Amino acid sequence: MKPLGPIPPGYGADAAGQLSIGGHDVASLIGMAGDTPLFVYDLAMVAARVAALRAAMPAGLEIHYAIKANPFVPLVEAMARMVDGFDVASEGELVRAITAGMGAAHISFAGPGKRTRELEAAIRAGATINLESEREAERALAAADGLGLTPRLAVRVNPEFELRGSGMRMGGGAKPFGVDQARVVPLVRRLVAAGADYRGLHIFAGSQSLDGAAIIETQANSVALAHRIDAESGARAPLVNLGGGFGIPYFAGDKAIDVTAIGAALADWIGDEPQRYAIELGRWLVAEAGVYLTRIVERKDSHGKTFLVTDGGLHHQLAASGNFGTVVRRNYPVAVAGRFGDDAEEEVSVVGCLCTPLDRLADDAMLPRADEGDVIAVFLAGAYGATASPAAFLGHPPAREIAISAVNAAALT
Ligand SMILES: *Cc1c(COP(=O)(O)O)cnc(C)c1O
């Protein structure tokens, strides 16, 4: 037997024992969408998450959403009304952010390898480009010259420190991301001298950390580093983006981070400075609000082991299979949707329909009895799901997606 990850708060069963998401039972959600496999995103849950974060963070701290966590259009549109800015990482995401109603002045464009046409699109739109290298800075300045526009430019710093306990490190040592800390001051001076609209600093040191003390330490280091760069460059960064890295509990034994403690620590350092600060989060805001629903096609025995073979799999939800940024495969939280909250009765493995042994959704898990036609719910599917999975692998159709809100009971697709 292998333990399942923790089912996030906010999910319950209706009177018939069916999993209910945002007040809708799973059968009617599947009816609304037409079929499984299906991602359901609960926008009321996302809104509650944003509100909880705002309550925990110092007043005036900007909250930005990193679109790559979940770019589903109705979710991004709802998010545009809830947060203070978007972080995008491609021209496609830039267009999506603007179309969703986020003002270009509140969009920052990070990511290595920006094509010249992408730099031009950002400059034309008036979005801030978070520069990942000196070379990119020169290309952006040249592109702006060519367009006859003043570019909004910020510098992404590759800090000497990194976020401890982080699932994906994006700072410290040699990195494709950001400008090495020691080379930032001359670059800031160069931008100012070239007449660019200098927008500030972006310091992103890692992702998926459940170590609150490490997040606090990284934010303290980031604030101190921004002050040093300001002092040495003689240019005050109008906005310091402190990154994020807030993790969520995926696996048995994981504990949620205490955002109130992080907010309290941050309030001490950024107190009443004239500088604006932002944090940018993806998964913390949306992961728990998404559920992946997949139907059992066949119940199969092999050498005394039971396999529930589903119509979904890693082509939609790669992370749950253990193949997206994890070293050791562990079980995500899963449940039999029609018997939510029932006691576990048998040990089964839930697999997908792809012809590869990698396609596992739960290994040796204890679940209530489930049969062909029953629906399996895979939780924590709101971030890095549909668009972070190899949808074209094996030629099955893409998963359906719907966004629901408890306030407005209609599907928003
Ligand atoms: C991916 C990314 C994020 C979001 O990370 P999460 O772990 O989803 O919070 C934020 N900022 C940048 C620059 C990123 O690349």
Domain count, the chain: 2
347 with 366, same domain? yes
Higher pLDDT, 123 or 167: 123
Same structural domain for residues 395 and 341?
A: yes
**pLDDT classification of 51: cutoffs 50, 70, 90:** very high
In percent, how much of the chain has pLDDT > 70?
A: 96
The span from the CA of 176 to the CA of 186, in Å, is 19
Residue 167, pLDDT > 70, answer no
Place of tokens 């969408």: 33
Band the pLDDT of 327: cuts 50, 70, 90. confident
- pTM score: 0.95
Q: Is residue 392, in this structure, part of any structural domain at all? A: yes
- In this structure, what token pair is assigned to residue 341? 């909250």
In a domain, 371, yes or no: yes
The answer, yes or no, to whether any atom of ligand 1 lies below 6 A from the CB of 67, is no
Order of strands across the sheet that contains 19-21: 12-13, 19-21, 24-25
pLDDT digits (tens, 9 = 90+) for 65-111: 999 999 999 999 999 999 999 999 999 999 999 999 999 999 999 99
| pLDDT given at position 222 | 96
Q: Is 75 helix (H, G, I), strand (E, B) or coil?
A: helix
Nearest alpha carbon, ligand 1 atom 7: 207
130 lies in the same domain as 274 = yes
| End position of a domain, from candidates 281, 308, 332 | 281
Query: Is the model more confident about 410 or about 202?
Result: 202
Indicate whether 272 and 226 sit together in one domain: yes
For 164, the token pair is 């401890």
Return the ∠ at Cα 50 (arms to 45 and 53), rounded to 5°: 125
Q: Could you tell me if the CB of 87 is within 6 A of ligand 1?
A: yes
**Residue 57 CB partners (closer than 8 Å, separation 6+):** 63, 259, 262, 263, 266, 267, 279
Cα 16 to Cα 134: distance, rounded to the nearest angstrom: 61
Residue length of the chain: 413
Say which CATH number the domain at 152 has. Answer: 3.20.20.10
| 282 closest CA partner among 143, 364, 382 | 382
Distances 130 to 79, 151, 269 between C-alpha atoms, Å: 21, 11, 24
Pocket test for ligand 1, best of 163, 207, 281, 384 (most atoms within 8 A of CB): 207
What are the Cα distances from residue 236, in Å, to 104, 107, 233? 22, 20, 8
Whether ligand 1 lies within 6 angstroms of the CB of 207 is answered as yes
Domain co-membership, 208 together with 296: no
- Domain membership of residue 182 (yes or no) is yes
Residue 276 to residue 278: CA distance in whole angstroms: 7
Domain of 393 in residue numbering reads as 12-41+287-412
Of 94, 61, 64, the closest CA to residue 79 belongs to 64
Report whether 88 contacts 125 (CB < 8 A).
Answer: no
Q: Is the pLDDT of residue 275 over 90?
A: no
Q: Is the Cβ–Cβ distance between 63 and 83 less than 8 Å?
A: yes
* Residue with CA closest to ligand 1 atom 4: 282
Does 240 share its domain with 323? no
Q: Is 39 close to ligand 1, i.e. is its CB under 6 Å away?
A: no
Sign of CA dihedral 345, 347, 348, 349: positive
Is the domain of 27 the same as that of 169?
no
What is the percentage of the chain residues whose pLDDT exceeds 90? 89
Residue 244 Cβ contacting ligand 1 at under 6 Å: yes
The reply to whether 239 and 296 lie within a common domain is no
Q: What is the pLDDT of residue 207?
A: 87
Task: Note whether 303 and 365 are same-domain residues.
Answer: yes
Domain termination residue (choose one: 263, 281, 299): 281
Banded pLDDT at 135 (limits 50, 70, 90): very high
Q: How far is the CA of 408 from the centre of ligand 1 (A)?
A: 29
Bond before 37 cis per omega within 30 degrees: yes
| Distance between CA atoms of residues 26 and 30, nearest Å | 6
Contacts of residue 231, Cβ cutoff 8 Å, sequence gap at least 6? none
Q: Counting atoms of ligand 1 from 1, which one is nearest the CA of 247?
A: 7
| Residue scoring higher pLDDT (170 or 285) | 285
Asked whether residue 35 is assigned to any structural domain, the reply reads yes
312 and 397 assigned to the same domain:
yes
pLDDT(142) > 90: yes
133 Cα to the center of ligand 1, angstroms:
18
> Nearest C-alpha to atom 6 of ligand 1 is from which residue?
282
pLDDT of 35 strictly over 60: yes
Q: Which of 281, 283, 324, 326 has most ligand 1 atoms within 8 Å of CB, for mutation?
A: 281
First CA to last CA distance, the chain: 39
314 in the same domain as 226:
no
Looking at every residue in the chain, the average pLDDT score rounds to 94
The residue contributing the CA closest to ligand 1 atom 5 is 282
Q: Is 382 in the pocket of ligand 1 (CB under 6 A)?
A: no
Average pLDDT on 271-287 reads 90
95 within domain boundaries: no
Where among 255, 281, 307 does a domain terminate?
A: 281
CATH number of the domain that residue 390 is part of? 2.40.37.10
Q: In the predicted model, what is the mean pLDDT of residues 331-349?
A: 97
The pLDDT of residue 206: 84
Same domain, 127 and 267: yes
**Distance, CA of 93 to CA of 68 (rounded, Å):** 8
Does residue 329 surpass a pLDDT of 60?
yes
Is 170 inside any structural domain? yes
Q: Residue 409 pLDDT > 50, yes or no?
A: no
| pLDDT band at residue 168 using 50, 70 and 90 as cut-offs | low
